[in-house]
Amino acid sequence: MNEIKDRVLRCRKQLGLTQQELAKKTGVKQQSIQQLEDGLVKRPRYILELAEALGVAARWLLTGKGHELDIFKMVDAMQAKEIRDVGQESLSDSEVVRLYEEKQHTKEMDEQWARMSPEQREDVAGHPNEGKTDELEFVGRLDAWDSNTPLDDDEVELPLFREVELAAGAGQTEVVENRGAKLRFAKSTLSRAGVMKENAACAFVRGNSMDPVMPNGTCVGVNTGDTTVRDGEIYAIDHDGMLRVKYLHRRPGGGIKIVSQNAIEHEPEDFSAQRVAEENIRIIGRVFWWSVLR
């Protein structure tokens, strides 16, 4: 498999695509794919689009060197072929899969809510610090099944956390795990996100600081094993007892910049390393998933 034509042909067949289907995904004519697989074209100008459509690394596809597969893209391509709806032809495979998974999670959460007793719903919606301005609330029970209900093969139970007032009072809070409170979550989602079960937790967003991406009530998945700041990623943070969800950016000397999606109402905040320590800012983990009920 020393030529690009061989690599393209193999990847296309692995995905179960015709030349016409691959051409459409790549944005070229079917004749271009045929010429490529016939060995008439050695360096196609659309190599990046072709690699994206096949779910492989562009360098490997062109030269045969380096890592072959982008595993996540390959999985997305195979899944998208099965679940792509009418009207989604212009969307990438990853976008199709993301929309499908969001729809499925929304359906699951709707079903969980419908099965809850009034007391369980109150436990989810209520909070001992009602009226405070915390922007991320780690809350109580969201599991609509009792403890005797077995998990499905592709399910795990993740802890839900909540904010409680310290015994000393004065409005100070700490984060604790609500014993027995669990949220059923798909193993496949954790696997795709590269998150270990023991590092995964869930919470609910409060307020409008992350509108419209994460409106009030959004359920988020947090990877507590991923606390290294990568510019522009979303993290859950503990800001001196107040739980928040924000975009984070690194600053020289160990400082951070905290940015809201709704920047009109919530201006960016810059913290030096000294202020981070003084204001007890702790990164809980990176947000790897969220679902919105409207």
Helix (H, G, I), strand (E, B) or coil at 111: helix
Q: 130-291 maps to which CATH number?
A: 2.10.109.10
Distances (CA, A) of 87 to 24, 91, 94, 102: 14, 9, 15, 17
What is the rounded distance in angstroms from the CA atom of residue 277 to the CA atom of residue 294?
Answer: 37
What is the rounded distance in angstroms from the CA atom of residue 118 to the CA atom of residue 129?
Answer: 20
Q: Does the predicted TM-score (pTM) go above 0.85? A: no
Domain residue extents for the chain: 4-100, 130-291
Helix (H, G, I), strand (E, B) or coil at 7: helix
Helix (H, G, I), strand (E, B) or coil at 287: strand
Please give the DSSP secondary-structure letter assigned to residue 38.
Answer: T
Reading the chain (294 residues) residue by residue, the pLDDT tens digits are 578 999 999 989 888 889 999 999 888 999 999 999 999 988 898 888 898 888 788 888 888 887 665 555 555 666 677 777 766 766 666 677 777 777 776 676 667 667 776 666 555 544 333 444 556 655 443 344 444 556 556 677 776 655 544 444 344 555 555 555 567 777 777 887 888 888 888 877 878 888 888 888 788 888 989 999 998 899 988 888 777 889 999 998 889 999 998 888 889 999 999 999 999 999 989 999 888 765
What is the rounded distance in angstroms from the CA atom of residue 149 to the CA atom of residue 223?
Answer: 26
Closest among 31, 38, 37, 40 to 54, alpha carbons compared: 37
Q: 4-100 maps to which CATH number?
A: 1.10.260.40
Closest among 239, 198, 242, 206 to 222, alpha carbons compared: 198
Please provide the DSSP assignment of 161-198 as one string.
Answer: EEEEE-TT-TT-EEEEEEEEEEEEEEHHHHHHHT--GG
| Structure tokens, 98 | 């993301």
